[in-house]
Structure 1
Amino acid sequence: MDKARHSRVFVAIVALGMALLGLSACSTTAPDAAPAGDVPSSTPTDDLAWQQEQLQEKADELWNTVERQFPDVARPEAEFIDWSTAPALGGSEELRGCLNETSASEFSIEEREVAHYVCFVQYPVKPEYSTDDADTKP
């Protein structure tokens, strides 16, 4: 595969990751409309549990994208390292470094897709409540 095609695939992966991460900020449900389990309480422990749930949902969405392209690929272990700024805003230095390291032409498309999944899981954008929900947060 030529370098131009590799570049287009990489841009598509990054764009997809940015879109999924960007949607996370827009997809909060008003607390009165959500089931009780979806609304975090005001305690730090519950906020952490809510963030972890949001991170898992985003990781699952990202993995589903990879798995649709490569159904036989095994999902790698990936653990949170640090928060990143939104990729649309340039992402954190760590996220950019991770993506750059895994974009080398010696990797197959499948290897790059899996590696990029790991990068986005390791350096996610911190889920936050929308400002519309700030006054109604329990």
Structure 2
Amino acid sequence: MEDFGTRRHASLKDKLAAEAVVERVYLAVEQLCIGQGDVRKRLITSILTLIPLRECEFPECVQMDFDWVIRESTKYKSKYPQFQGDLEVTMMRIRNTTGQKIAQRIFHIYSSIQSIRGFPLLEYRAQDE
């Protein structure tokens, strides 16, 4: 089987990791695009889709991005964890612009995974492809 696009430049380990997480990352991006409410409200559903994953399950090139997303999305701790999680508390406290930065990072993760899989998004394609 021939490798297409940027896939030929990725290691086997990264290719396997990208295939393992692509569905959940796609679902997270989908929630950001079509979910109800402002970006912070959409991020709650999106992050809940990603939280079951671990940093080590991602390709190395996006592990730090995934860690940043989870860390920034849960940085404020709940006073009443039995009623409200850190994610919800954080989304209520951050600004919409911070939510947009988190959403951009999630999209970057998705774009990188697609590139590793050999399906780079249009704006990220090299000139010779």
Fold conserved between structures, TM > 0.5: no
Please give the TM-score of this superposition, normalised by the length of structure 1.
0.30
Larger helix proportion of the pair: 2
| Structure of larger gyration radius | 1
